[in-house]
Amino acid sequence: MIFRMLCVFIIGNPILVKAVTKTSSDQMLNLCLTGALDLRSPLARDRARENCLRIHHKKLSITQCMALAKDFEYSNFTEEMKALCLFETSPRKIDAKSCFYWANQFEYAETSDNAKWECFQRFDQQMSRSVCLQEAQTMRLPTHAIRARLACR
């Protein structure tokens, strides 16, 4: 028998319970996300999806996690979950190129640039100056692009 955390909805509110189950983590995620679809309001659905993703994101590839993050109805949830997929999911290993690629997928300039700053910080020692300058040019806000270029060694 395996103990797993199960996302259960009681009167529209997601809660976690420990369950004895032989269900795979993919099935658990699908069950959790399916329950979120049954909720009436977009905000309640997004909160439930957020809870599902926070529980299961470490078991997903970055591509799977980002695809689920795109399904949110409110863009603020989408942006927050993309950041979760990109930076809070371990032991997922990504390289600098992948980090900047996924940072470019954010909808808003500010959150995209914030993600890129995180990529710069994580991969500063591994990037050549030419790669750093190239990535600095992708900053969406002009002042961020200038600061990033100046920070390249």
Q: How do residues 14-62 score in pLDDT, each as one tens digit?
A: 555 444 445 677 889 999 999 999 999 999 999 999 999 999 988 888 8
What b/e sequence results for 58-83 when a residue is b if at least 16 CB atoms lie within 10 Å of its CB, and e otherwise?
eebebeebbebbebbeeeebbbbbbb
Domain boundary among 48, 70, 93: 93
| 106-138 pLDDT, tens digit each | 999 999 999 999 999 999 888 999 999 999 999
Same domain, 73 and 126: no
Name the pLDDT band for 3 (thresholds 50, 70, 90). Answer: very low
CA distance 33 to 39: 11
Same domain, 78 and 123: no
pTM beyond 0.95: the answer is no
Same domain, 121 and 137: yes
Residue 5: both structure tokens together: 């955390």
Average pLDDT over residues 70-99: 87
Same domain, 88 and 103: no
The structural domain count of the chain equals 2
Same domain, 5 and 62: yes
| pLDDT for the residue 1 | 38
Tell me which residue of 119, 121, 15, 141 sits closest to 6, measured CA to CA. Answer: 15
Whether residue 144 is predicted with pLDDT greater than 50 in this model: the reply is yes
Residue 31: both structure tokens together: 């069950």
Same domain, 7 and 69: yes
Same domain, 49 and 80: yes
The number of beta carbons lying within 10 Å of the beta carbon of residue 28 is 20
Whether residue 4 is predicted with pLDDT greater than 70 in this model: the reply is no
Q: At what angle do helices 129-136 and 142-151 cross, to 10 degrees?
A: 170
| pLDDT for the residue 23 | 60
Which region among 11-15, 104-108, 125-129, 147-151 has the lowest average model confidence (pLDDT)? Answer: 11-15
| pLDDT for the residue 21 | 47
Domain extent, residue 137, equals: 94-153
In SS3 terms, 77-137 reads as: HHHHHHHHHHHCCCCCCCCHHHHHHHHCCCCCHHHHHHHHHHHHHHHCCCCCHHHHHHHHC
Same domain, 7 and 64: yes
